[in-house]
Amino acid sequence: MQLQDIFPGFNYPPYLPIVNSRNAIILAIVNNPVVVITGQTGCGKTTQLPLFCLEALGTRARIAVTQPRRIAAVSIAQRVSHNLCLPLGDLVGFRTRFDECVSGRTRILFQTDGILVSEIGHDRYLGNYDAIIIDEAHERNLNIDLVIGHLCSLIKKRRNLKIIISSATINPGLFSRAFDNAPMIHVEGRTFPIRIIHDSLNVDETDYVQASVDAVEKINRTGENGDILIFMPTERDILAVKRKLDVIKHFFPTVVLPLFARLSRAHQELIFRSMPKRKIVIATNIAETSVTVPGICFVIDSGLARIKRFQHSSRITALPIERISRASADQRAGRCGRTQEGVCIRLYSQDDYASMDEFTPAEILRCNMAGVILLMAARKLGGIENFAFLEAPPVKSVKDGFKHLIELGAMDEHGRPTAIGAEMSTYPLDPHLARIIVAAKKQGALAEALIIVSALSCMDPRDRPLDKTDAADQAHKRFGDQVSDFVWYLNVWRAYHDAWNKLKSQSRMRAFCQDNFLSFMRIKEWRDVHFQLSSIIGRKTTSCSGTYETIHKSLLAGLIANLAIYKDETKTYKMSHGGAGLIFPGSMLTKKNTPWIMFAEKTETSRLFLRTVSQIDPEWISEIAPHLVKRRYSEPYFDEEAGTVRATEHKLVFGLVIGKSNVAYGRINPEEANDIFIREGLIENRLQTHYGFIKHNMAVCREIEIMEAKLRVKDLYAGDSELIAWYKQQIPDVTSIHDLNKAVHSNNGDAFLKIAVNALLTSALPPQITLWPDFVNIGGEKFPCTYLCDPCDPFDGVTVHLPPAAREFMTAETLSWPIKPQWERRIEALLDAMPREAKKKMMPLQSAAAQLASMMKPDHRHFCMALSQIAKKEFDADLPFDLLANADIPAYLTFHVLFDDKRPEAANSIARWQSAIACLGQKSIETWNFGDIPEYVAITKADDGIPLFRFPALCDNGKSIDLIACATFLQAESFHKNGISGLTKKELAREFAWIGTNNKIDRLDRLAISSIGDPDMLLEKAINAITEEFGVPADPYCRSAGQFQKHLDIARQQIPTALRTIVNTLSESGKLCAKISGNLSILKKSLPGVNLQNAFRYLVFDLKGYIALMASDEADYAFMCTFSRYLKRLDITVQRAKNSPLRYIQRMDEILRYEKKLQSSQNAPVSIRRKCRRMLEEYKISVFAQQEVRAAPGTSEKKMIEVFEKL
């Protein structure tokens, strides 16, 4: 049967190459279930194969023809119906997503491949069709692969089903092998010869634009006719080439037309019109197969294109610029050989062409598999891992698809569809859009969701002409919303329908769209999608009742993976699946730094941009997608106020923190919460409770710690870990005060929580623990002491706590005595620190320390002084006190004191000490009538402790002489010396008064004395010297009443004659002084040499020095009594210096060093200076007049040096 018999007016077009293969193709269809047909573009496959199939199977056969695009399905159906001279919808019809034209008589049905996929869900056996033709199979989109995969298994169940696979450029072997090596038929095309020119340029991303312009100039210079088609990878490149060509079109008459998907329909249709000038079309890869541009004679191929790829790690649908495949390169070259010979200039080398992939990878290898997985699961097509794909999708892609569906709540973790997933699969939408519809029904925002989802399913309705971009942007902003780009669609929808209700005219609506820079056709498509979705859902009303929150909660359900949070430090948005992006510049939210946003899509060109953005409240996420909210808990702590363990709960979605709060930690991690409750609440005593077990257990721990400090060990206490373990046994489930109250109530009190000392000990206590006291006996009173074992702490060892008022009673001697258990350790440490010579008699030191400790007893002495004296007595060892007192021994062996005891009983101890001290004193003493004065007195008894001593002393307060008790021996010595002097002067007051009234000097003595000074002044000085001399006993620290009385008796005898003695000495000294002066005057008149002159100066200096000394404080009683001896020495020296001046000068040079030192030490104590003066004068006698005057015994230069060192 031939179609010409059925349709008399029909004839196969003889110019189509496929007609020549008609019989072979019909025979193959009849004899084989599957036939693979390949042929170049223009051979007639698309329009003729359905007719061949109808001839092969009969006019009653029903044939499905799939097309990848709706426009192709409709336009081809129209063309085939026209060729058959039949109305559309009769024998030939079409069905697209939201439109159809079919009838009961339709036998050839053109449809999109997506429609066939949907039909498989209702009829897995495709019983409505006897043959299925898969056209344009080379495009390998998802639906094509899904259909072919299903047919691979279906053909084994339906033996009568015919399958024809057709494509222009194809890998026929792949399809043949999928269907058990099905036969392949190749149809030759009707193209003219094409000359391929490989440009020598090595084109890369920086110069292919200029290279294409250069190629156009070469073509123009050849003078050949024909239009030019240039393939560029991006719109930006197209516009860049257009700008460059617009510059040169003045030299070569041309019309330059861009062609890309976002151009308005009017601009796209310009390329099909005939032009009086050469037409240059600059296109993306849309012109490879989908669009056939007439009149093209030259093709300039950049070899580049944007290839859509889905990045599984970041979930970014990117459009990177990549090298095309060889199949695409051949397809582009074929654009120029339709009507005449053509030329294809490839901007890459032959080697580059050879290295290209043979075919562009199928979409299933580079896309999101979520929709396919959901559809297959909902239609029960079997597991995707067992599906007969032409090429199995990447495992990573499949896993990512399952992950995305789980995020949407469409599948559970086992890969089974949920109720939400089952409902989603009923909608002909991408999974995330279907999820929005499901959520909107629950939120009560279905009307708004349908509008937005319909818009997201179509091309963007915005029209943006190249020459009116600013006006278009301003027009689009009028529909914008400050916080959501999704609301833009709602505003446009309302504005359009409000205008329709007023205008009621298609032409006026076109004008409305044009004025607002909206595409009328895209809005029509939008409305069609909305109508179809509303029909599927069963919603007819268009009234909107959703709020901003409910609308965006619905959107959030589908776009839950498209979240981002603003990061101020980088000025970018951190996305939910990692990476950072920027809001697309056309958004109303650009540069607003909105904290949380949701976006419809993300695309990567020069930067990663987030498009169609809205502000959201992160709290919505927990409500919309609770299964995605991960809770992470950090910083658990004990809340003292609430008496429970709490933690910070961080709610995260895809690693983004959507909120945090403090929650009870017991229900989250009971074991850790119990540990924290015990550790921080009980061990650290932060739990506010009236129960006494905590204080009891803390006291037990403190008691053991004190034992460790006493014994200087660290392993006696089992540790807090042992106490914690014990608590966990007693209260394993307690994490709050409420739980504790229940436990105490159920155990009839808290006794079960009181631990015994032995339970926290690592071993039994040693017997010596009882030797360490808790109180120290000082001065008969007991004071608390504490123990610390920490070498880094300044209070390491024993610390006694005294009241602040006790400070005045404590002396270095008292505090040098440690507690008795430390004596042996301290003595051993002191002995070990001594020089080897000092301690060699006491080896071994440990036994010597034990012996010495047994002989020690606290008294008024310093501990080290007592040790030194006992060691000398017992071992004949010389241990100087200074060495012992300054020895470097561990700090814990010393006695630490803190004046912080504020107990009332401590204050009473101070009062008793003060009372005892008061009994030792005596006021206004006139004479020594109270016996000897002891050096020290124990003010209280301390048989088993450290006694407290006071040191009696006489004190001259200027008004009276008192007997007082001093705190230290040095203090007592200082007071006592002045007190003895004061009492002596009081006792000898009558004698001193007598010499004051009997001090007459006769005329001769006065005359003699005047040679050395004013007689009255010297007389007064003599009286003062006598008072000073006899006003102090020989022992200035005299404590014996008998010695004191003896001194008084001697003084009373010597005082009356003392003044006469001094006067006689001064008179004699005056005469000597006059004599010396006379001799010096004679010497001055006869000075023949330098030496004698120098000697004279020294002698004069010596004489004047003596006269000056008599007026200074160095001239005491003893000096005045012996003054004449010093002048006798000088008189003799004058005579000898005259004879041997050089020797005298040499001797005096040595002596003057000491003289100068004494004169420069005027701030030294007067007693020291007097001693040095007497030693120096005696030394002069020994040097210059030893035979005549005789120096005092013991006089020597060595002795003098020792005395002068004290200055």
Task: Indicate the burial class of 244 (C-beta count within 10 angstroms; 0-12, 13-18, 19 or more).
Answer: middle
339 CB neighbour count, 10 Å cutoff: 14
287-296, 378-387, 524-533 — which is least confidently predicted? 287-296
Helix (H, G, I), strand (E, B) or coil at 763: coil
H or E stretch including 915? helix 904-918
| Biggest alpha carbon–alpha carbon distance for the chain | 188
CB contact at 8 A, 1173 and 1159: no
Query: Quick one: average pLDDT of 905-909?
Result: 84
CB contact at 8 A, 402 and 411: yes
Angle at 352 between CA 350 and CA 358, to 5 degrees: 100
Within 1089-1188, residue ranges assigned H as helices are: 1090-1109, 1117-1121, 1123-1139, 1141-1159, 1166-1184
Instruction: Examine the pLDDT at 178 and tell me if it is beyond 70.
Output: yes
Which pLDDT band holds residue 410 (cuts at 50, 70, 90)?
very high
Q: Shortest CA distance to 272 belongs to which of 260, 257, 250?
A: 257
Q: Is 361 left (phi over 0), alpha (psi -120 to 50) or beta?
A: beta
Tokens encoding 735: 């994490």
Q: Shortest CA distance to 554 belongs to which of 684, 657, 433, 660?
A: 433
Instruction: Examine the pLDDT at 541 and tell me if it is beyond 50.
Output: no
Query: Quick one: average pLDDT of 393-420?
Result: 88
pLDDT digits (tens, 9 = 90+) for 932-966: 888 888 887 656 788 888 888 888 888 888 888 88
513-527, 845-859, 994-1008, 1138-1152 — which is least confidently predicted? 994-1008
pLDDT digits (tens, 9 = 90+) for 243-260: 889 888 767 888 999 987
Most confident of 197-206, 223-232, 457-466: 223-232
Rg (CA), the chain: 61
Which pLDDT band holds residue 14 (cuts at 50, 70, 90)?
confident
- 414 CB-near residues (< 8 Å, 6+ apart): none
Residue 342 φ then ψ, to 5°: -125, 165
Helix (H, G, I), strand (E, B) or coil at 846: helix
218-232, 333-347, 720-734 — which is least confidently predicted? 333-347
**Residue 1136: its pLDDT value, please?**
82
Instruction: Examine the pLDDT at 542 and tell me if it is beyond 80.
Output: no
Query: Quick one: average pLDDT of 1113-1140?
Result: 83
Instruction: Examine the pLDDT at 711 and tell me if it is beyond 60.
Output: yes
Instruction: Examine the pLDDT at 164 and tell me if it is beyond 90.
Output: yes
Query: Quick one: average pLDDT of 394-415?
Result: 87
pLDDT cut 90: percent of the chain above it: 27
Q: Is 324 left (phi over 0), alpha (psi -120 to 50) or beta?
A: beta
């489930």: which residue's tokens?
733
Q: How far apart are CA 805 and CA 906, in angstroms?
A: 9
**Residue 315: its pLDDT value, please?**
47
Q: How far apart are CA 37 and CA 695, in angstroms?
A: 94
**Residue 571: its pLDDT value, please?**
86
pLDDT digits (tens, 9 = 90+) for 1188-1200: 888 888 888 888 8
Within 809-897, residue ranges assigned H as helices are: 812-815, 823-832, 836-839, 845-855, 863-875, 881-885
Q: Shortest CA distance to 70 belongs to which of 430, 492, 457?
A: 457
Task: Indicate the burial class of 230 (C-beta count within 10 angstroms; 0-12, 13-18, 19 or more).
Answer: buried
């944007």: which residue's tokens?
306
Instruction: Examine the pLDDT at 565 and tell me if it is beyond 80.
Output: yes
Q: How far apart are CA 2 and CA 52, in angstroms?
A: 9
Instruction: Examine the pLDDT at 669 and tell me if it is beyond 70.
Output: yes
Q: What type of residue is 785?
A: C
CA atoms within 13 A on the CB side of 436: 27
Exposed e or buried b per residue across 539-566, where buried means at least 16 C-beta atoms within 10 angstroms of its C-beta: eeeeebebebebbbbbbbbbbbbbbbbb
Query: Quick one: average pLDDT of 431-454?
Result: 92
- 775 CB-near residues (< 8 Å, 6+ apart): 782, 783, 784, 785
Q: DSSP state, 861?
A: S
Q: How far apart are CA 560 and CA 576, in angstroms?
A: 9
Domains of the chain: 3-187 (3.40.50.300), 194-361 (3.40.50.300), 427-624 (no CATH), 676-767 (no CATH), 771-903 (no CATH), 905-992 (no CATH), 996-1204 (no CATH)
Q: How far apart are CA 654 and CA 630, in angstroms?
A: 8
Q: Shortest CA distance to 155 belongs to which of 177, 126, 135, 134?
A: 126
Query: Quick one: average pLDDT of 885-892?
Result: 87
**Residue 319: its pLDDT value, please?**
65
């349908």: which residue's tokens?
450
- 737 CB-near residues (< 8 Å, 6+ apart): 642, 643, 644, 687, 688, 689
Which pLDDT band holds residue 78 (cuts at 50, 70, 90)?
confident
Which pLDDT band holds residue 1104 (cuts at 50, 70, 90)?
confident
Q: How far apart are CA 1092 and CA 622, in angstroms?
A: 119
pLDDT digits (tens, 9 = 90+) for 26-56: 999 999 999 999 987 778 888 899 999 999 9
Tokens encoding 785: 């002491």
Query: Quick one: average pLDDT of 656-678?
Result: 92
**Residue 1155: its pLDDT value, please?**
83
Instruction: Examine the pLDDT at 205 and tell me if it is beyond 50.
Output: no
CB contact at 8 A, 797 and 892: yes
**Residue 1086: its pLDDT value, please?**
66
Instruction: Examine the pLDDT at 735 and tell me if it is beyond 90.
Output: yes
Cis before 844 (ω within 30): yes
Tokens encoding 406: 């789980």
Instruction: Examine the pLDDT at 775 and tell me if it is beyond 70.
Output: yes
Q: Tell me what the pLDDT averaged over the chain comes to.
A: 85
435-439, 626-630, 1116-1120 — which is least confidently predicted? 1116-1120
Instruction: Examine the pLDDT at 820 and tell me if it is beyond 60.
Output: yes
Q: How far apart are CA 669 and CA 1006, in angstroms?
A: 113
CB contact at 8 A, 155 and 381: no
**Residue 494: its pLDDT value, please?**
92
Q: Shortest CA distance to 219 belongs to which of 354, 336, 305?
A: 336
Q: How far apart are CA 1022 and CA 1060, in angstroms?
A: 10
Q: DSSP state, 687?
A: -
**Residue 1165: its pLDDT value, please?**
82
Instruction: Examine the pLDDT at 998 and tell me if it is beyond 50.
Output: yes
Distance of CA 588 to the CA centre of its chain: 36
pLDDT cut 70: percent of the chain above it: 94
> Beta 227-231 vs 296-301: how paired, if at all?
parallel
**Residue 369: its pLDDT value, please?**
81
Q: How far apart are CA 808 and CA 1108, in angstroms?
A: 47
Angle at 147 between CA 372 and CA 420, to 5 degrees: 30
Which pLDDT band holds residue 200 (cuts at 50, 70, 90)?
low
Q: Shortest CA distance to 171 belongs to which of 148, 198, 151?
A: 148
Most confident of 370-384, 710-724, 1133-1147: 710-724
